[in-house]
Amino acid sequence: MRILVIGATGQVGRTAVAALQGHEIVSASRGTDPSVDITDTASIERLFASIGQVDAVVVAVGEVPFRPLADLGRADYESALSGKVLSQLDVVRIGTPYVRDGGSITLTSGILSREPIAAGAAASLANGALESFVLAAATELPRGIRINAVSPSVLEDAPSYHSSFPGFVPVSSHRVGQAFAKSVLGVQTGRVLAVD
């Protein structure tokens, strides 16, 4: 299979790349060649035009602000929506014509859609929106294309985040990678693949 992994050099993206070894991986991020900035629709369009047809797309990027609820303003919520939700939806919108019949698209949300942390309201909003989109989009994507979201908890390999997730049991990169492999290589669609 030919698989585009957007965000392949990031903490979560690397788990997908590792789990999908043996397939042709096209890695794309802001600092790779080909490069992409998913907050820029023209950049997404250039990426797909340059790489052509793929069997699967994995999106493992997204930025959201973390600050206490009382400090969140409209601009913060707009930032969460544009940085994590609209950017991934633009990949779906622009990339779908480049995904072969029966292929798949995998987005990345996160545990904050189902478990809160302090200062995480904007992230919870973004993750929940992505997951709801996946449920609905699966019913309408053309040509048998499947769509899922991988929703991991905090990673063992990211100890700098552990203090923000008190009481959460960190998950291994291997388990997160296997969720991406299930989404790409399996038969599921419209699913949120939680890794807790």
Would you state the pLDDT for residue 67? 97
Q: Quick check: bond before 152 cis, omega within 30? A: no
Q: How far apart are CA 191 and CA 100, in angstroms?
A: 20
Would you state the pLDDT for residue 86? 98
Q: How far apart are CA 93 and CA 87, in angstroms?
A: 10
Would you state the pLDDT for residue 123? 98
| DSSP per-residue letters across 91-130 | HHHHHGGGEEEEEEEEEE--GGGTS--TT-HHHHHHHHHH
- Model-level pTM? 0.97
Give the domains, in start order, of the chain with CATH numbers.
Answer: 2-195 (3.40.50.720)
For 60-90, give one letter per residue: b (16+ CB within 10 A) or e: bbbebbbeeeeebeeebbebbbebbbbbbbb
Q: Mind listing the pLDDT tens digit for each residue in 85-105? A: 999 999 999 999 999 999 999
